[in-house]
Amino acid sequence: MADIAHVDGPTDEDGPVDDNHDNGHGDEHGGHGDHESTGTDNRKLGMWVFLSSEFMFFGALISNYLLFKGRDFTGFDRITLIYPIELYDIPFTSISSFVLLMSSLTMVLAHDALASGDQNRTRVWLAATGMLGMVFVGGQFFEFSEFIHEGMTISSNPAASAFYMLTGFHGAHVFIGILMLLSLWGISRRQGGLTEDQGLNLELVGLYWHFVDIIWIVIFTIVYLIP
Amino acid sequence: MATTTDARPVARTIFRRPAGHTGFWSWITTTDHKKIGIMYGYTAFVFFILGGLEALVLRIQLAVPENTFLSAAEYNAMFTMHGTTMIFLFVMPVSAAFFNYLLPLMIGARDVAFPRMNAVSFWIFFFGGVFLYTSFIFGTTGPPEGGFAAEVSRLGTAPNGGWFGYAPNSGAQFSTGTVLDYWSLGLQILGLASLISSVNFIVTVFNMRAKGMSLLRMPVFVWMTTVVAFLLLFSIPIIAVALFMITFDRQFGTLFFDAAAGGDPVLWQHLFWLFGHPEVYILILPAMGIVSEVLPTFSRKPLFGYPAVVFAGAAIGFMGFGVWAHHMFSSGVTPITQAAFGLSTMAIAIPTGIKIFNWLGTMWGGRITLNTPMLFSIGFVAMFVIGGLSGVTHAVVPADWQQTDTYYIVAHFHYVLFGGAIFGLFSGLYYWFPLLTGRMYNETLGKIHFWILMLGFNMTFAPMHWLGLNGMVRRTWVYANEAELAQWNMVVTVGAFIIAVGVAVFMANWMYSKRNGPKAGMDPWDARTLEWTIPGPTPNYNFGVNPVVTSLDDFWHKKYSEDSEGRPVRRPEADTLLAELEETGLNPPAPIHLPAPSYYPFMVGVAIPIMGYGVIYKDQAFGIPLALVGMLILVGSFAGWGVEPLELDEDHEEGDHA
Amino acid sequence: MRRGSPNPATKRAVTARLVFTAALVLAVSACSNGGPLDSLDPRGPIAEDIDGLFKLTLYIATGVFIFVQAAILIAAVAFRDRPGRQEPKQIHGNAKLEVIWTVIPVLILAAIAVPTVERVFKYTECSPDAMVVDVIGHQWWFEYQYTDYDIITANTLVIPTDTEICLHMTSDDVIHNYWIPKLNGKRYLVPGQETLLLLEASEPGEYWGHCAEFCGLSHALMRARVDAMPMADFVAWAEEQEAPALPAPENTLQAEGEALFLGGEGLTCATCHNVDGINALGNPIGPDLTHFASRSAFAGATMEFAEEGEIERWLANPPEIKPGSFMNNFELTQAQIDALAAWLRSLE
């Protein structure tokens, strides 16, 4: 889905028509012949660059949580003195973390399947990744409804606000990832498989998915495990 | 078993794929970096006028003590919108205009890495700015909880918490009404546009340079663009988090900045300035890049100390993340914090000074043409130095306890942002005018513009230094008769109107000359960089033939060799070279594929503010449906964009003049 | 070196330097406007110390300014293209110069950094024998509570001269900023937190100040005064302030005003304001009025107590004078206004 402007120079022997959109460079993207480049495809580099900014985004959210987590809110107005740490069900969250971790594995398997040309298996692993992601998100929903039931809402106290905001944004990122996975799966089904160009998109979604997983590991450690 | 990989994408577009490269719809659907740059430029300029009018209205109010021209409510809205507009809707987008138009040209590329994403950045910005300004029409203000409501005119129903929106004043308790929701959501939308651009520019610079153009052969303007892109990349997420927090505090009952509930108002300041300080380098570095191109051209000498200037620019960017709390010296942070940030602020003066000395070195010993772009670049150096020096006085922390939140600070940042950034941008507008239009602007009017601006600008902002030290605080709707501030305030107001005259001269020159100016021809400035190797107005496809580069200032070296003393000697083949370049520029030898236009970026731009309105009015009947409609358009646009085929079927375009 | 009288060239150079320095000092001091909020006119040891450091930095900055602007002007003129001018040598840089113009600024800044850091630490902590006053910021006035005395006042802060005053500050609502330019720099008042500011006046007098952090609609009208007096006078003032207000004599206009204050004719003054000895309101929303008539200014220190008709003007329509005022327009009759004003003027 790249719309890299491409050029046919006067020495291009393939002639002016470029049906598979690769600048006459065969399998190379982010080509070499006529410009200076890092060697990484534009879209892949773009995803890495974008993910580095996402690190700052989650960094700010995590710092925010760390700031409020240790505070004592007794004596303040409109406070419900319930802290996230009191409500954690570590075994439950460990299981859903494991599920998310497994989804990264299935993502790698999907990529692997496509690399070896097996479109069916690719779809299977893509669906598996999406479903494991949905289990994770479902687990989050369940966890949050329990917390709310116990009396901790987004307005209970600043630590609660920070907790829900951090985990909420992470969950939203997982949800977007699920949408992308299902889109790839759907496109593959309709077309009978993914083209090589679309294979790059699978890699990009994979990168994103692994990033979201890594962020969860950080969140799980800092928010749930460290006292 | 395995299916083959000859599956083909199936095109499913909702609308017929647009095809044109001329006409009104071609602007709506364009993915061409030059058209996008032009749209950024004109849109930003409209906001410049709006921001300028807001300033004039402020200055009328402050011309005399205890004035009643504006009410307090109107004044607070006007100064908030003046700052917000000038920063987010003028300087940043006009810098984006320059980046968009010039970056590919300077590195010898045909477009940026992601043309549709480039268009989406523009449309998100455009509709974000419109969204922000609709607060004047639809927004409501309200007293703090427990206060009494009062009638406020339309001029006062706009965001009114300052461009920095300090909590808790900007929170739900003290700013009832909707104007600050327009502000927080509007800024969020604008930040998204910048973030998307930054990814685009970074990939473009790293992956699409002409053959032979190593990083240290890139023009300084390209380097500065890259540093700015990294600054945006890392600072926008922080303000995004801060804005989410204040929006959630206002809309969904979170307690981040609610002191009575255990929240921390100073946290807002830390997050805001963690973004805000890199932001000011985002505002100045493009102009520094422009000046680094203009000064060498009109001194007929290379930039003095290219590696030092590049390194200093990168250092400023990097160190810019380490000085944020110098905006908070009086906020009650610990003495260690104050000392540390005072030192880091002093340190950042070093690379800034290095650049200034290198610019001086460029001019020194040159053969200088004092035309309009050169005057503005020299003016930049002269005015920026003043702002930089007053900045150093702020780094002296105890002195800053006196200076902060007074007009002394207003003087400082206007010297660096107006005398600096805006003078630099004007220099660039005149310099690249022939490339954009193929014509020359009127030099006399240009000089008149410069001198009027020098006069008006200094008259307006120099007195603010001592007005601040004499006790005039910022964001002050009136000042007391007894404060002895009247006389210089009047001078400042007169100066502001003189600036307006200067800007009017510029606008007249631009609008007239772009249609009627004399044709400029190839390389009118005998310049040094790649963008001058093609005819103006720039053809659709930029370069007829992909350029190949063998050194810094490659174009110059193709025209000039050096004698034994190191003085340039024009090569005999130089004129033939120019003629050839013009020929291949206008008539490329082989067909060139261009990125196809698309409706989807425009639709994404429209969808996002609709969601914004939905959030603001979520408690009303139409709110949530509106948000859903926006989301549907957004998701639909993404889907369409993703499925949209790369090119049109009959896409063999010969060179089209833009 | 030749002894004897200095040669004319050296004399000229020295004279030039002296004249230049004198001009510089004059120019910088001319920036002082002598107004009540002028930070370039320090009246206490802290402000003087800061002023000295600022002026030193300013002189150095001015020197750099002159050097750079001169270089720009000279370059623009001397190297301007003229007929017959040669093409310039294509110099790419000079490593030695880069080092020089990096190192010299570093040295200058290091020199300024030392006194800067010293003073940061010196002036962010109160000495143990400082006089403590609590300052509470409100939209849009400052409240003062003297910890050593049982005194609560507003708008004008009375202090003894030659004494370090340690202000412990916080806010009741949004962030404010307390600034008395002639006595020190400024410091925020943050809700939920305590910040410190030192003040010391070396001579008696009235020093004006202002809230310096945008705090809402009437930020421009949130001002302050400091009234410094010799210690003996201050102690006398404190004694008077600690005494409760005396009830108004019977059958006077003041008595009518007092009755209105306490709730006569449906007025609600006593629900927001406290006057010791007359009503006993804990946690009043509005300023304490016990010794209102002893203050030079009111209404956020924007209105002069002594000026005729000001109290009446305020009572008639507070939001018109102070937009957003939490004291509403109660639509008092002229009779009510006159009575209340008379009573307020009696609260010495």
* pLDDT given for residue C3 in this prediction: 52
Give the tens place of pLDDT for each residue, B274-288: 999 999 999 999 999
Distances (CA, A) of C15 to B381, C21, C22, C67, C158: 31, 10, 10, 19, 48
Beta bridge partners of B406: B473
Q: Which residues of C touch B400 (CB under 8 A)?
A: 185
3-class secondary-structure state, position C106: helix
The confidence score (pLDDT) of residue C10 equals 56
Q: Are C278 and C254 in contact (CB under 8 A)?
A: no
User: Which residue's entry shows tokens 């800067």?
Assistant: C116
For chain C, give every residue range classified as CATH 2.60.40.420.
Answer: 252-344
Q: What is the 3-state secondary structure (H, E, C) of B402-452?
A: HHCCEHHHHHHHHHHHHHHHHHHHHHHHHHCHHHHHCECCCHHHHHHHHHH
CB C127 within 8 A of CB C164: yes
Q: Could you tell me the CA-to-CA distances from B19 to B26, B31, B377, C96 in Å, in that order? A: 8, 11, 40, 57
Can you tell me whether residue C163 is helix, strand or coil?
coil
Indicate the residue of B7, B214, B274 with minimum beta-carbon distance to A36. Answer: B214
- Predicted confidence (pLDDT) at residue B615 exceeds the cutoff of 60: yes
Report the alpha-carbon distance of residue B466 to residue C37 in Å, rounded: 12
Is C92 within 8 Å of B473 when comparing Cβ atoms?
no
Alpha-carbon distance C190 to C182, whole Å? 23
Minimal Cβ distance to B305: which of C93, C112, C191 = C93
Q: B332 and C195 in contact by Cβ < 8 A?
A: yes
Q: Do A5 and B646 touch (CB under 8 A)?
A: no
> Is some CB atom of chain B closer than 8 A to the CB atom of A80?
no
Q: DSSP strand E in B538-605: where?
A: 560-562, 568-570
pLDDT, tens digit, 9 for 90 and up, residues B203-252 = 999 999 999 999 999 999 999 999 999 999 999 999 999 999 999 999 99
Give pLDDT, residue B646. Answer: 62
Q: CATH for C45-122?
A: 1.10.287.90
CA-to-CA distance for B61 and B59, rounded, in angstroms? 5
Q: What is the pLDDT of residue B595?
A: 84
Pairwise CA distance, residues B478 & C221, whole Å = 8
- Residue B646: its chain A contacts at CB < 8 A? 1-3, 21
What mean pLDDT do residues B142-164 have? 93
User: What pLDDT is stored for residue B24 in this prediction?
Assistant: 87
More confident of the two residues A168 and B12: A168
How far apart CA C270 and CA C289 sit, in angstroms, is 10
Q: Confirm if B287 and B420 have CB atoms less than 8 A apart.
A: yes
Domain with CATH 1.10.287.90 in chain C: 45-122
CA B461 from chain center: how many Å? 21
Using an 8 Å Cβ cutoff, are B658 and B34 in contact? yes
Helices B335-363 and B265-299: crossing angle in degrees, nearest 10, is 10
| Beta-carbon separation of B143 and C324 below 8 A | yes
Q: Max Cα separation, chain A?
A: 78
Q: Are B601 and B30 in contact (CB under 8 A)?
A: no
Q: Which residues contact A148 (CB under 8 A, 6 or more apart)?
A: none
pLDDT band at C21 (very low <50, low <70, confident <90, very high): low
Which regions of chain A are under pLDDT 50? 1-32
* Residue B36 contacts A, CB cutoff 8 Å: no
User: What integer pLDDT is reported at residue C324 of this predicted model?
Assistant: 94
Could you give the 3-state DSSP secondary structure of residue B141?
A: strand
Whether B266 contacts chain C with CB within 8 A = yes
Q: How far apart are CA B617 and CA B628, in angstroms?
A: 12
Q: Which residues of C touch B369 (CB under 8 A)?
A: 81
Say if residues B105 and B538 touch (Cβ distance below 8 Å).
yes
Among residues A119, A113, A185, the alpha carbon closest in space to that of B2 is found at A119
Q: How far A61 CA sits from the closest chain B CA (Å)?
A: 7
Does the pLDDT of residue B648 top 70, yes or no?
A: no
pLDDT at residue number B350:
97
Percent of chain B at pLDDT exceeding 70: 95
Q: Of all residues in chain C, what percent carry a pLDDT higher than 70?
A: 92
Among all chains, which residue has been given the structure tokens 């922080």?
A: B238
Average pLDDT over chain C reads: 92
Cis peptide leading into B168, omega within 30 of 0? yes
Q: Which residues, numbered 504 to 543 in chain B, qualify as contacts with chain A under a Cβ-Cβ cut-off of 8 Å?
A: 541
Q: Is the pLDDT of residue B639 over 90?
A: no
B397 touches chain C (CB under 8 A): yes
Rounded to an integer, what distance in angstroms lies between the CA atom of residue B512 and that of residue B526?
24
Confidence check: pLDDT of B202 > 60: yes
B585 vs C159: CA distance, rounded Å: 79
In degrees, to the nearest 5, what angle opens at C-alpha B591 toward C-alphas A3 and B10? 40
Name which of A188-192, B95-99, B326-330, B476-480 the model is least confident about.
Answer: A188-192
Query: Considering only alpha carbons, which residue of chain B is nearest residue A116?
Result: B2
The residue that leads in pLDDT, C24 or A56, is A56
Q: Which residue among A16, A21, A45 sits closest to B652, beta carbon to beta carbon?
A: A16
Sequence-separated (6 or more) residues with CB below 8 Å from residue B58: B70, B75, B78, B79, B82
- Tell me how far apart the alpha carbons of residues A180 and A171 are, in angstroms, rounded to a whole number: 14
Nearest CA to B408 among B392, B394, B420, B423?
B394
Q: Which of residues 485-504 of B touch A (CB under 8 A)?
A: none
CA distance A41 to chain B (A): 8
Q: What is the ipTM of this complex?
A: 0.93
Which chains have 3+ CB pairs within 8 A of B?
A, C
CATH of C252-344, one of 1.10.3720.10, 3.40.50.10190, 3.90.550.10, 2.60.40.420: 2.60.40.420
pLDDT at A16: 36
CB B10 within 8 A of CB A123: no
Q: Does B304 touch chain C (CB under 8 A)?
A: yes
Chain A CB contacts of B641 below 8 Å? 1
In this structure, what DSSP letter does residue B542 have?
A: S
Chain B nearest CA to C91, separation (Å): 7
Chain B residue numbers touching A8 (CB-CB < 8 A): 590-593
What average pLDDT does this structure show over C223-246?
A: 96
> Chain C within 8 Å of B71 (Cβ-Cβ)?
yes
Which of A35, A52, A202 is best to mutate for the B interface (most B CBs within 10 A)? Answer: A35
Interface list for A 192-221 with B (CB within 8 A): 192-198
Distant-in-sequence, close-in-space partners of C294: CB < 8 Å, separation ≥ 6: C237, C240, C241, C347, C348
Q: Which of B68, B397, B488, B560 to mutate to test the interface with C (most CBs of C within 10 A)?
A: B397
Give chain A's domains with CATH numbers. 40-65+87-225 (1.20.120.80)
Cβ atoms within 10 Å of A128's Cβ, excluding its own: 19
- Using alpha carbons only, what angle is made at residue B60 by residues B55 and B62, rounded to the nearest 5 degrees? 95
Decide: A52 and B235 in contact? Cβ < 8 Å: no
In which band, very low, low, confident or very high, does the pLDDT at B16 lie, cut at 50, 70 and 90?
Answer: low
The pLDDT, as a whole number, for residue A85 is 87
Beta-carbon separation of B144 and C35 below 8 A: no
Grade residue C5 by pLDDT with cuts at 50, 70 and 90. low
- Using CB atoms and an 8 Å cut-off, which of residues 86-115 of chain A contact chain B? none
